[in-house]
Amino acid sequence: MTRIRIILIALGIAALVAAPIGQGNYIIYTLTSWLLFSISAMGLNLTLGYAGQVSLAQAGFMGIGAYVTALLTLAGVPWIAAALISITSCFAVGLLLGWPALRVQHHFLAFVTLAFNTLLFLVLRNEEEITGGSFGLVGMPRPSVFGIATDSNLNFYYFALACFLVSAFVMWWILRSPWGRAFKALRENPIRAESLGLKIRRQTLLAFAIGSAFGGLAGALQSPLVQFIEPGSFALIHSLKLLLMVVVGGAGFFFGPMLGAAVVILLPELLRFTEGYYLIIYSALVIVLMVFSPQGLIGLGQKLWNQFRPRHETRRDMKKGFQL
């Protein structure tokens, strides 16, 4: 890392710490939502942007995380233990789901995850003895960290921020590791990567499972944030929303998912003046963005940047594109 980057990242973190100070509850709550969706989108980005697989069950994994955490914390288990169990269960489910799907053709993970997400919704709704059915679960406690309660929105924001920074660091570490670097090789040239001895299927499977585990953590945070969960919040449509977040921000870029999550969450606010039309405008913008810059907003930014600095080489690794 160059010195400039370190400074920029330190500034970014400082901005995140300062962001909620003096703000109303709504802003703090929205920022917390953004952190949480960023974590989830970051996980999906690993699956999508680095391993090139489409998962349509990221909201489902958030659901698993949220329900596991809710049930455990309501039973008196401390949050941290509940969260770890949530993350592990999502990882395990990811392995179970991805293994058979990746055994066959390349794009079948998308179909299997789509079916899984819808099935999960049905189970959450129908098994009401455990999950509370369509009435959902209410009143999950917010955790205490080192004796400090996170009941106030501001404290919970810092708690979520800590989780976010840890996840971002873990993600960064994964991508920097030889194992993570292998993905870049894979993306650039799968045939060469395979000939160099990379086990593509195992790599992809692990990426999907880890990506799902990030969804689990996001869900574990959602339970105490909203203090209410119901099956509808984890339906297929929300998985599509997460997919849009990642691609709009820029799949395969480290900061892409965070940007994408910010766009999706803040957009209703920014387009408030358009009354009910914000979703129409948003969806039209996404189509236009995909036509002109399939690498999302960050890709668009880079393109513009390179216009001014023509000597810079464009990213070759993105050119291959992904296959569903």
Partner 1 sequence: MAELIQILISGLAAGSIYALAAVGFTLLWQASQTINFAQGEFVMLPAFFVLVGMGLGLPMWPAIGFALILSLLILGALFKKLVVEPMLPHGTLPLVIATIALGLLMKESVKEFYGATAQPFPAIFPQKVYQFAGASVSVQDIGNLAVSMLAIGGLQLFLNRTRTGRCMQASAQNPAVAEILGVDVKRMVMYTFLINAALATIASVLISPIYLAKFSNGETLGLVAFIAAIVGGFNQIRGALVGGLLIGVIDNLSAVYVSAEYRSAMPLILLIAIILLRPQGLLGTKEGRAV
Partner 2 sequence: MQNRVRTREEGNTMFRTLTASAATALALIAMPALAELKIGSIVELSGPGAAAGTNFRDGVRMGFEEINAAGGILGEQVAVTEYDSQTDPQVSRAMVQKAIDDGVVAITGTVFSSSTVVNMLVAKQAGIPQFTGSEAPSITAMNNPYIFRTAFGSQKGVPKMAKYMADEMGVKKVAVVWANTEFGKGGHESFLKEAEAHGFEIVADLPTEQAQTDFSADVVKLKGIEADAAFVYLTEEESARFLREARKQGVTLPLVGETTLIGHKVIELAGDAANGAMGHVGLTPDANIPAMTEMVEKFKAKFNYTPDHNAIKGYTAAYTIKCVAEMVGEADSQAIADKMHGLTLTVAECPGVLMDVSWDETGEMSRESFFVEVQDGKQVVKAILPPN
**Interacting residues with partner 1 (CB under 8 A):** 48, 54, 100-101, 104-108, 111-112, 114-116, 118-119, 122, 125-126, 236-237, 240, 243-244, 247-248, 251, 276-277, 279-280, 282-284, 286-287, 290-291, 294, 320-324
Kindly write out the interface string for residues 73-112 of this chain, putting x where it contacts partner 2 by CB under 8 A and - elsewhere.
----------------------------------------
Of 236, 205, 240, give the one whose Cα is nearest residue 106.
Answer: 205
- Cβ closer to partner 2: 136 or 143? 136
d(CA 295, CA 49): 10
- Cβ closer to partner 1: 71 or 235? 235
Binding partner 2 by CB under 8 A: which of 8, 9, 196, 237? Answer: 237
Kindly write out the interface string for residues 112-131 of this chain, putting x where it contacts partner 2 by CB under 8 A and - elsewhere.
-------------xx-----
CB-hemisphere CA count at 13 Å for 244? 18
**Residue 177: contacted member of partner 1, partner 2, none (CB under 5 to 8 Å, by partner type):** none
Binding partner 2 by CB under 8 A: which of 135, 179, 292, 305? Answer: 135
Classify the phi-psi angles of 137: left when phi > 0, otherwise alpha if psi is within -120 to 50, otherwise beta: beta
Q: For the stretch 294-318, what's the b/e string if a residue is b when 16 or more beta carbons lie within 10 angstroms of its beta carbon?
A: ebbbbbeebeeeeeeeeeeeeeeeb
Closest approach of partner 1 to the CB of residue 282, in Å: 8
- Which amino acid, residue 86? S
d(CA 290, CA 267): 18
Q: Give yes or no for residue 152 binding partner 2 (CB under 8 A).
A: no
Q: Which residues have a Cβ under 8 Å from the Cβ of 137 and sit 6 or more positions away?
A: 67, 70, 71, 74, 131, 228, 229, 230
- Cβ closer to partner 2: 204 or 222? 222
Interface contacts to partner 2, rule CB under 8 A = 24-27, 29-30, 33, 125-126, 133-136, 138, 222, 225-230, 232-233, 237, 268, 273, 275-276, 278-279
